[in-house]
Amino acid sequence: MAKPYLHEAWYQAAWSDELSEMGSLTRTLLGMPVLLTRGSNGGIAALVDRCPHRFVPLSRGRFDGELVTCGYHGLVFDSAGQCVRNPHGPITERARIRSFPAVERYGRVWLWFGDPDCADSAMIPDLSFLDPLPASAVAHSYMSVETNWLLIVDNLLDLTHSDYVHPAFGDFVTDAEMTVDESKDGLSVGWIARDQETPHIYRANLPSDRSDIWLRSNWLTPSTIVVGTGATAPGSEPEWSLWSLHGITPESETRSHYFFGFARDFNLADADFTLLMQNAGTAAFVNEDKPILEAQQMRVGEADLFDLDPLVLPSDRGAVLARRRLRKLISAQPV
């Protein structure tokens, strides 16, 4: 049975650079067709991609940088969804389209799918640590994955999978110490693997052949995950120097938009290193995670995995707590 989405939340709908000036983009989000536009003033708007008259997608019409004209009978709507021109008669009360509160922040377009009066941009996941980083030190990409969005969240809250799915990244996570900390905004799962042989991919920035390796998945409701990693001389305090960034937005119950990015705070000007990091990460996500996640979806089907009575392991603690929190948030939604 279809489970309700968590609507009262901000989701990443696109990367900012997917919308050029006066550009538009149609994308199904939480089961809803959405037309995203960037006006000639640079502002982002989001409307249900469906004319209220004959239900033709507005994305088949024309956006002139300010107004959207339906391609079927020429009704014109502004960025708030209000009909501003009806060639066929008066503009009545009902001549409007639902719009979604939209905020552009951290190079991402965020949409709120709940009651617009409750759309508080302070609830957008805080990625402000990215703000000081120059463009040469960040990168991002996208893939569509035929899997339920929660299976991706699970994946990222149990990084022990890396030892088996991404063996090129080493195999130190399973035996690391794991801690889980809940917070107001979500929760954080940390791993510390002490006194390891420094894995090859960390060598560039590491002091020695042996190091403590730090990993942390910081989940911000509903579906942003910041994976930080760092390596320090054995016995030192943690330092976070390399991040992968994950925004997962349900398209439907069985397909997800997966926005992923990379950032670091060392070697900031080295765009070649950024490209290397992006290529390695993208290869891992596309070639190694995606097939697993889609095969998993085939076995889980339309059910909620946790309704199928899976074996729960200690390493699932973060994922279990996150799903429990999401269930509570969904139950608390206005009907």
d(CA 156, CA 251): 19
Q: What is the smallest separation between the CB atom of 121 and its own copies, expressed in angstroms?
A: 30
Interior angle at CA 281, CA 102 and CA 212, nearest 5: 110
Q: What is the smallest separation between the CB atom of 63 and its own copies, expressed in angstroms?
A: 15
Q: What is the smallest separation between the CB atom of 309 and its own copies, expressed in angstroms?
A: 8
Q: Which stretch binds its own copies (CB under 8 A): 66-74, 98-106, 185-193, 219-227?
A: 66-74
Q: Answer yes or no whether residue 107 interacts with its own copies by CB under 8 A.
A: no
Residue 152, Cβ density class (10 Å: 0-12 exposed, 13-18 middle, ≥19 buried): buried
Which of 2, 87, 328, 331 binds its own copies (CB under 8 A)? It is: 87
Of the pair 275, 312, the CB lying nearest its own copies is at 312
Q: Answer yes or no whether residue 187 interacts with its own copies by CB under 8 A.
A: no
Query: Quick one: CA torsion of 231, 236, 237, 240, rounded to 10 degrees?
Result: -10
Q: What is the smallest separation between the CB atom of 196 and its own copies, expressed in angstroms?
A: 16
Which of 4, 17, 21, 60 binds its own copies (CB under 8 A)? It is: 60
Which of 118, 233, 275, 295 binds its own copies (CB under 8 A)? It is: 295
Q: Count residues contacting its own copies (CB under 8 A)?
A: 47
Instruction: Kindly report the backbone phi and psi dihedral angles of residue 321, in degrees, each rounded to the nearest multiple of 5, phi listed first.
Output: -65, -40
Which of 174, 252, 267, 282 binds its own copies (CB under 8 A)? It is: 174
Q: Answer yes or no whether residue 34 interacts with its own copies by CB under 8 A.
A: no
Beta partners for 76?
Answer: 69, 85
Amino acid type, 291: P
Residues 6+ apart with CB under 8 A from 204: 267, 273
d(CA 290, CA 186): 24
Of the pair 135, 312, the CB lying nearest its own copies is at 312
Q: Are 68 and 61 in contact (CB under 8 A)?
A: yes
Instruction: Kindly report the backbone phi and psi dihedral angles of residue 248, in degrees, each rounded to the nearest multiple of 5, phi listed first.
Output: -120, 125
- Where on the chain is the footprint of its own copies (CB under 8 A)? 33, 49-50, 52-57, 60, 69-74, 86-89, 92, 94-95, 154, 158, 160-161, 163-165, 174-175, 291-292, 295-296, 298-300, 305, 308, 310-315
